[in-house]
Amino acid sequence: MSQQEWGCMQLPKLTVAFAGSVALAIGMAPLALWPLDRVGLAPALVRSLPMPAVAFCFVLLGIQLLAPRRRLARIPLDRALPAGLVLIPLVALVLDGDTVARLHASASGPSMHLTAAAGFIGAGLGIALVAYARHAALRGVVYALVTAATLVGLLDLATYVPGMDSLLDRYSDARMRPWTAASMILAGIALTVQAHTRMPADPRADIAEDRKIALFSTVLLLCLASGSGVLGFSLLARTAQDVLTDSLQVSLRHRLAAFEAAVAHAAGQTLLISQRPRLNTLMDKLSYDTLSTAERREIEAIVDNIQQTVGASAIALHDAAGRFVSRRGEFSAPEFEAELHGWPGHTLIHAGRLVVRGTREFHGSGRPAGTIRTEIPVPAIEQLFEDVTGLGDTGTMAVCAPLGVQMQCLPNRSNGHKVLKAPRHVRGEPVPMAYALEGKTGTVITNDAQHRNVLAAHAPIGSLGLGMIVKVRRGEIYAPIRAQLLPMVGVVLLVTVAGVLLLRWQVVPLARKLVREIAERRQAERALRASDERFRQLTALSSDWYWEQDAHYRFTRIRRNAEAERRFPARDSLGKTRWELPYVDVSEETWRMHRATLEARRPFHGLVLKRRDVNGEVRYSEVSGEPFFAPDGAFLGYRGTGRDITELKRAEDAVARLGRILDDSSNEIYVFNANDLRIVQVNRGAQRNLGYSLEELKGLTPVDLKPEFDRDSFEALLTPLRRGEQETTSFVTQHRRRDGSVYPVEVRLQLSRHDEPPVFVAIVQDITERKQSEEQLRYLAYHDGLTGLPNRLKLTERLRQAAHASGEDGLLTAVLLLDLDRFKTINDTLGHEAGDVLLRTVAERLAACVRPGDSVARIGGDEFVVVLSQIAEMDEITGVTQRILASFGPAFQIGARELFTSASVGIAVYPLDAREPEGLLKHADAAMYEAKESGRNTFRFYTAELNARAQRRLRLETDLRRALDRNELLLHFQPQLDLATGRIVAAEALLRWQHPELGLLPPGDFISLAEETGLIVPIGEWVLREACTRARGWHAAGFKRLRVAVNLSGRQFMNHDLSLVVKRTIEETGLAPRYLELELTESLLMHNVEAAAAMLRTLDGIGVTFSMDDFGTGYSSLAYLKRFPLDLIKIDRTFVRDITTDPDDAAITKTIIAMAHSLDMRVIAEGVETEDQLAFLRAHGCDAIQGYCFSPPVSPEAFLELLGRQNRAPGPYAQIN
């Protein structure tokens, strides 16, 4: 026996022995080291080894491979070993419970992975069937089962190649550990060899030695092809992952900036609210004193203004003792709440929507004066969650806050749009959000909280204590690559077949020598069968079918492989010529040329034809043939081979399609020589973007297209790629078009060393839109989106600059704070679109009024600020301010309407009033409120006296809010005397406030404050109920026909619930409607005639009566007057006062009396104080009077006494003091 032959015989034994030793070592190591893990020693080493169940199976495999077969039969282990290999995995899977739930919930992983279990079970069944494999079919089953271990190991090991792990993306824990997979491969190969040696011989088959070599060659080439495919996939996957990583990082940076800006805006609003000078002043006063009614009304007005300008959904004020001061809206009950570390006192809340809740203290005199609590919606953050641009089908953005060892996350695309509480670690490994919450920025590939394998970019959100990630499922990264590479599988298989043929030709001499030596020891018959078998295999390997034609070109013999026979049965072709078969898309010219070749008896090669198979699928085939002749030279026909090239054609089409896609891409793709940098290839996208033709670009270098680079700087950029220090490099620069224009681009460069000469590949993306978006974001951060003026942030910066410049030159800087008068009325009446147009027009007029170098800003709502710098004289400030007020004179054109409005201006001067921007704005705000109180459409400079006046107003406003609860309000009644009978017929209810410290206050001291704060509505309802209750008491006391008159404010009258309030009050007090008289002013009725008429008709239906108060001081239009169901007209006291001395007042009074009587209305004169006035009114037919001439307003008890005195002493009238 030769040494070569002996080596071939020993190789299988050595392979089995080596594999058995490795399996036994892999199995014994964890079993021996597992106790160390129990006591905490070497846990990392132990956990890198197989689990106990897997280790037991490897021990059984090692025994199977190492122990001689005879000893196994004696023990007996020949049945126990395969039984154990099948039962242990099954028991492990059953004990682990539900597989999917286990993979997602287990902290340490399963006791045996699914793929490992499949490999062991296959190996066990194969070993058990070895002894019974006497037939080819059963032998094939055995080979398939024991080979399963090798295939499973190869699959799992391949998934540890970068990018290939996406094959098990959904269940990453289904794969074995690397050591386990490698051992499984080795054991599978050894089991295959052992099974071959131990299976009983098949008397019907004898595999030739050259077939063994061919089989080995095939396996080797398949392994090489598979390895190349895995490597290629890995490289493409790495590139795709790098591109997506950059995209995720860019997206994360933009979203972080937008998130922080939204939070800063909302929190900044709360901060600015707490720094409002007037509000601070009022809260400071409240901390050591009580507020007047006017001051309380002012607080309510400020809170209303805050809610309107800031857009807060809820506001609450509390004093220094924690007592409630004012409130607007309802605060949310959060599902999610996280403290914003960078903004003390602020939290981010989710309760159906996202809001920032803030709490700030007021500091008036250096001590806490109360708190303000706000909730401000942040729709910009919600839009970030909805925006999944560039994140694909599985991408999402998540924001979480720490919650002990867990985290709580806002609703997003991956958690079903619900608030989620989740652990920061899954099976001992941190999820991507854990890195962000630890303050780390970067990208990571790991499992997320939903146990999905993701690529995630993570970062903390500034100093807010929150974390943000942008993630994409890894399977989505590699799906396009797999789709593109899948058609190449057929090409790889064909190349492998060709490689096997080539390798077989190389080893034929050795194979023939071995066959010859073996054939000498075998019978001639077996040698003949072996030779025939080799011939048939050669035919099968070289083509899909063999064919023969007779001298008339008719098919006489067709021998196909099974697949080809199934698609094209030979019986359908026998007896026919090739052109008689149903090939498709073959022209007559092609057949003519083919027949000419046959007639000339020449060979032909590579004839490509198309034909539909039995399933109707179009298949491509390539046919070659040559003529054969009889020994005497007579032509006998043609014979040759054919092969199916359908997959090859599809692969070629796929490659062509990929080329077209890259060529048509909007990105610019360049290939340039690594030596001289000359461009050698570009796609159409580059030609289109740059305006050059392909020929023109081939004469250029990248430096010619990049104005920011010269040859040296560009070479320096390429140096790390040339040295292999970097695989790719990315940078942002500009490209210059053929017409000279430039545009921003992002360039990604990679060196391809496989080409000769090597080339650089550049992928260039036009980032013009991205740059524009970044510029727009920067602009919006410092400007008002509606008017384009600087916002508060930019204003503060400019104000500091102006003050600094003025201070250095010894000059002044003025801050003018403007608030539009009646803007809320315009906005509510005409709508927000009209309000927006008005604000933009005001901005244009203000900009036209100021000098070069001055600044105009909008700081919210209808408030504007003008900064006048380099002021030498105070007259300059006055001049500009008057010019601004005058600019409001012309009408504002809003669509088809002309509107008129004015502005109130407060002025503070640097450095006279304050030195800091916050102080200047605060004082200007106080002066602006003084201007409003002074009649609007004017301006006021800040003075120290404003503080004192503001504090008293704030005190009154605060106290007025509590007056109802403390029963401090009361009614006085002034009787109305009928001049015909001399008896009291009615009484006007007049409101008084018994202030605990200021005494009895008349309505003039607090009614306007109640109007501004909205308290007039609940106070008016109280007055109505109290007056009706008193009138019902008079009737019960015997004064049956007395009416009570109640004044209605404009705000009460415009309330659409007024009729319901009146009706309910009458029903609850039991007063007959005809005894309730509602007094309304002319201006109230004329403000909106149609609405007023409708409301009066509704109330008239209830049965109440109406009087017009202060008649003659307003419109006094008969056209309007007759439209209202009025019962009585009251002559204003301004006419009554001088009727005996002023002819004009006397004439007006007589006219009013005559006009009212002509309209069937009664007339009452108010403010009658002298006998002469009474005589004049009686002489001219006035129906009733009211005034001090008869009685001043008196308390309810005094009024009852007056009624009693009238009954005891009847007469024309009785005067009381």
The yes/no answer on whether domain 783-943 falls in CATH 3.90.1150.10 is no
948: left (phi over 0), alpha (psi -120 to 50) or beta: alpha
Q: What is the residue type of 363?
A: H
Asked if 1187 and 1166 count as a contact pair (C-beta separation under 8 A), the reply is yes
Question: Residue 479 in contact with residue 463, Cβ under 8 Å?
Answer: no
CB 581 within 8 A of CB 570: no
Distance CA 363, CA 785 (A): 32
Q: Which residues of the chain have pLDDT under 70?
A: 1-11, 31-50, 68-78, 96-111, 131-137, 158-175, 196, 198-237, 364, 390, 478-543, 658, 946-951, 1087, 1112-1120, 1208-1217
Q: How many CB atoms lie within 10 A of CB 826?
A: 21
Other beta carbons within 10 Å of 274: 21
Report how far residue 287's alpha carbon sits from residue 284's, in angstroms, rounded to the nearest whole number.
5
Amino acid identity of residue 551, one-letter, is: A
Token pair in block for residue 626: 């040559």
The three-class DSSP label of residue 903 is strand
CATH architecture of the domain formed by 665-773: 2-Layer Sandwich (3.30)
At which residue do the structure tokens 């001395």 appear? 1141
Rounded to 10 degrees, the C-alpha dihedral 686/687/693/694 comes to 40
Class of residue 551 by CB neighbours under 10 A (exposed 0-12, middle 13-18, buried 19+):
exposed
* Rounded CA separation 792/271 (Å): 12
Q: Which tokens is 1068 given?
A: 């609850």
> Who's near 873: CB < 8 A, 6+ residues apart?
none
Main-chain dihedrals φ then ψ at residue 734, nearest 5 degrees: -125, 150
CATH superfamily for 261-381 is: PAS domain (3.30.450.20)
Q: What's the CA gap between 298 and 958, in Å, rounded? A: 9
At residue 1120, the pLDDT reads 65
Is 0.85 topped by the overall pTM?
A: no
Token pair of 78 as six digits: 């020949």
Tokens of 1124: 């209202």
* CATH number for the segment(s) 975-1208: 3.20.20.450
CATH 3.30.450.20 in the chain, residues?
Answer: 237-257+383-482, 261-381, 488-648, 665-773
Architecture of domain 237-257+383-482: 2-Layer Sandwich (3.30)
User: What's the pLDDT at 899?
Assistant: 87
- pLDDT for the residue numbered 500: 59
Encoding tokens for residue 1032? Answer: 């019902």
Q: In 3-state terms, what secondary structure has residue 199?
A: coil
Phi, psi of 409 (to 5 degrees): -120, 145
Task: Give me the amino acid identity at 561.
Answer: N
Do 367 and 345 contact (CB within 8 A), yes or no?
Answer: no
Provide the pLDDT for residue 205: 43
Dihedral sign computed on CA atoms, order 328, 332, 333, 337: negative
First to last CA, the chain: 151
What is the tens place of the pLDDT at every residue in 183-203? 788 777 777 777 767 666 555
The answer to whether the beta carbons of residues 557 and 571 sit under 8 Å apart is no
Amino acid 536: pLDDT: 53
Question: Vertex 833, ends 828 and 834: CA angle to 5°?
Answer: 65
Distance (Å, whole) CA 649 – CA 487: 10
Predicted pLDDT of residue 408: 92
C-beta neighbour count of 291 within 10 angstroms: 28
Helix ranges, 994-1079 (H): 1007-1013, 1016-1036, 1050-1053, 1058-1069
User: Chain-centre distance of CA 15, in angstroms?
Assistant: 59
Say if CB 116 and CB 178 are below 8 A apart: no
Q: How many CB atoms lie within 10 A of CB 768?
A: 11
- Give the DSSP letter string of 498-545: HHHHHHHHHHHHHHHHHHHHHHTTS-HHHHHHHHHHHHHHHHHHH-SE
The DSSP result for 717-762, as a single string, is HHHHHHHTS-SEEEEEEEEE-TTS-EEEEEEEEEEE-SSSS-EEEE
Contacts of 566 (CB under 8 A, 6+ apart): 614
Residue spans in the chain of domains classed CATH 3.30.70.270: 783-943
d(CA 143, CA 148): 8
Topology classification of domain 488-648: Beta-Lactamase (3.30.450)
- 54 vs 120: CA distance, rounded Å: 9
Q: Cα 439–444–448 angle (5° rounding)?
A: 90
In the sheet where 635-644 sits, what is the strand order? 555-560, 545-549, 635-644, 618-629, 604-612, 583-584
The candidate with the shortest Cα–Cα distance to 317, out of 995, 1019, 958, is: 958
pLDDT for 1149 equals: 92
The whole-angstrom separation of Cα 622 and Cα 611 is 11
Is-contact 460 481, C-beta < 8 A? Answer: no
Taking the CB of residue 684, how many other CB atoms lie within 10 A of it?
Answer: 16
pLDDT at 989: 96
Count Cβ atoms below 10 Å from residue 663 Cβ, excluding itself.
14
Those residues whose C-beta lies under 8 Å from the C-beta of residue 1187, and which sit 6 or more positions away, are: 974, 1133, 1136, 1165, 1166, 1167, 1168, 1169, 1173
